[in-house]
Structure 1
Amino acid sequence: MPHMTVTLAHEADFAGWRTATRSLAGRHTPPADITWQIAGGTESATLPAPDPEAARFTVPRAVMELAAIMVQSALPDRFTLAYTLVYDHVMGMPTGEEAADRMARARDDVITHTRHLRDAFREALSGHDGTTPYQGRMETPDLVPESNARFLTLQRSFAPWQLDMPDRTLRWTGHEMLREALGQAPRPLDPTSLPPPALPMVPDLDITRITSLRAVALAAKTCLICPMAAHATQTVFGEGRETARMMFVGEQPGDIEDRAGRPFVGPAGQLFDRALHEAGIGRDDTYVTNTVKHFKFRRTPTRRIHEKAGPAEIAACAPWLAAERRIIRPAVVVMLGVTAASALLGRAVTISRERSRLIALEDGSDGLVTVHPSYLLRLPDEAARAREYDRFVNDLRLAASRLAPAVT
């Protein structure tokens, strides 16, 4: 097989490396037969064309996580080492002892630098007035700042920031990421091309400092705090106006919501929309979310069966729900079902005792407990369904009655 040269878009082009690796490792191309280089000036990235005859393969998450750390390390042959990890796995071979030792040392350095960057950033933000763009400096030989660019951007709620290093500057303008190498003009940097950081983003984020709902939603998509996140298809965050005066909180997304990535779009959501319409409430004027942001289920041969969220899952998701309430500041919060009511009221709740009455919440908003729309779908008797549906609509009307006329 002829020698292969792969030209990546920039020094931390993990996405380009991954695309090339998928093709080359599938062809069983040895690491020694590949040269990895970085595009310079006006030169473009050059990746191998997809090969339909290349073998398909899967790589354990731990292998790809270590490969991502190698790509952001200071090692001059980091792309070769990252490729070697994958190639050895595909070929069923152990990685050489010398290479493994170098990877272990590089991993420790990257993790240490990641922790240092985040700690320094948080400390600097605590004394920053927020009226001007944050500008800091970091002495590092590796690509840790690039891999943590999303962390810094979310922690700043998309406000501009700049990080200067001896050989380059990384800057978020509020609209795009720019990277300016020493002696070169600033160039746009696609955040999706960067390797994921060596440490989880969410446990290190100070969610209480994030003031943008969009930033909170994007941060939640990387959440791996509880085991549900590893099994669900995706995080299902809330949806609606950031200025909504009415918030609806359910238990958790279902199977359809988990696949769609949107709350209340399955059968219960369709019933909910119908009830909103009959109550004179426009869904576009509301914010709809769940206590838990991932679908908890047990798998059968044909289906994924919903399982009730437990205290651990509710506690893990509590910061996300708290951030939604803090940013949106709704006048009325409607709790759909016992899970939402118990989580928001901080005590055991019996729907029959709490339903259809207004409750003063600690943030000054009005709360109202009612049933979850899925409860109506489970009722076996048609007459009971009609009766309970009418009562549900009346609950929504009661909640809406607490809204003062919108200021125009």
Structure 2
Amino acid sequence: MGGTAGGVSAAASAAAGRPVLVHSFEQWRHAARDLLAHKVPPHAVQWISHKDDGDLFSQGEEPQPSGAVQAESKSTLRIPRQLMDMLQSAACCRVPNRWAFLYLVLWRWQQGEKDVLSAADEDGARLHAMVKAVRREEHDMHAYIRFRERREDAGPPRFVAWFEPAHDVLPQVARHFTSRMGKVSWMIATPEASVLWDGATLHSTGPLMRGPEDIDDAGEALWLTYYRSIFNPARLNADLMHGHIPTRFWKNLPEGALVPEMVSQAAAGARRVGQTHSVGQRGGTVIPISADKAQPQRDAPSTLDQCRRCELWQHATQAVGGVGPLEARIMLVGEQPGDQEDLAGLPFVGPAGQLLDRAMAKAELDRRTIYLTNAVKHFKWEPRGKRRMHKTPAQREVDACAYWLGSELEQVQPEVVVVLGSTALKAVTGNPHATLKEVLGKPFMHEGRWVVVVYHPSYILRVPGEDMKAQAFGVLVDGFRQARELAAPVALA
């Protein structure tokens, strides 16, 4: 087509009111030279390109300007290398009317407006932005493309990769990998175009609608195992990680499927475990190794006394675990140990514990048959004079202790859990947005056991007015009675 329909020159097409058709930089360059030679202004040209023509890797038929035009172009059209390089790079940027914009820049330069190359100029700024976007996409494609090895009996190419570039950078990237991978055959597939390297020649194979599937790549399995082993939850910064690797790349990265689970585990307490001491143990110098044998040996979880999952241990006397029979039908979960609990190492021994005992006695509940614990195992406090005053734990501290509370629930297997206050409710249900108002005094099932929600004894001690204290104490007693009834054995009919 030579940049226009039927081999007609670009200038003739523009003069006849017909659009100039291009789909590659070379076609645009020849058409632009012809238009400039005939002094056709940008507003008189309509540029179009068909989506089905492929990306800039495609090479259509080149325009054939007349000999007179060729001679005139050689004598008058002098384009500096810097401008030509920028135009060629910007031509890869997928923006509306890119060919018309590039011709506008070229026209302005030809008219003596040299500031069109300046980033301070409106068109110059847009040109610089397009070049920057393309170069950034080239860099990202170099960094985030992942080749997968096919079976030897599958034939060439040996390695295949799928990528979804935002701009037409496949030709530049393909040339990069031909020099990096030597004579090994490979293919890069994209939705717009694909390239195949047979070890000597680069071929354009057309667009693909989806990436290669069902490839049993042992090397990829080993890489994923290694990626898990080097992940250090103690140094995780999810925002920074997503800032360095744009979200659109994660879905095509093999390790992208692992990241959400590892981030979730880090938030749930693995952050304090730290990194493994070794990345697998194997003898000799044998290179082939299966992914399951490469799994590193990690340290066992630390004991509660050695817990460093959050910062509360630094200012507490000791960690306070749960107490009570491991076969208890009822478990009480409070917020955190108080001042006296922190010193004694036992839950509910201070003023709140004494009020708890009175409520249990009124509800005819024997404390010796109940397992008592807290959502957070260290005392969080702030100084006020010579006293240590209680401070509500943050959600991150509740999440850090979720490991220990989960272990207690798993070990005791209570039929009923009585949660004392909002913090305990959030910890037991795993819902940071849970509130007392919706479930207070209304037992509900959660993970196969009954949950009864009541006020925390310390709230009853703080609430002003005898009437309000009596009302809150009544809620506590009623909750214990509900728990006793729900935990009572049911006779078979």
TM category (shorter chain) comes to 0.3 to 0.5
Normalized per residue, the structure richer in strand is 1
Indicate the structure (1 or 2) with the bigger Cα radius of gyration: 2
The structure showing larger relative contact order (alpha-carbon pairs under 8 Å, at least 6 residues apart) is 1
Q: TM-score, normalised by structure 1?
A: 0.47
Q: TM-score, normalised by structure 2?
A: 0.39
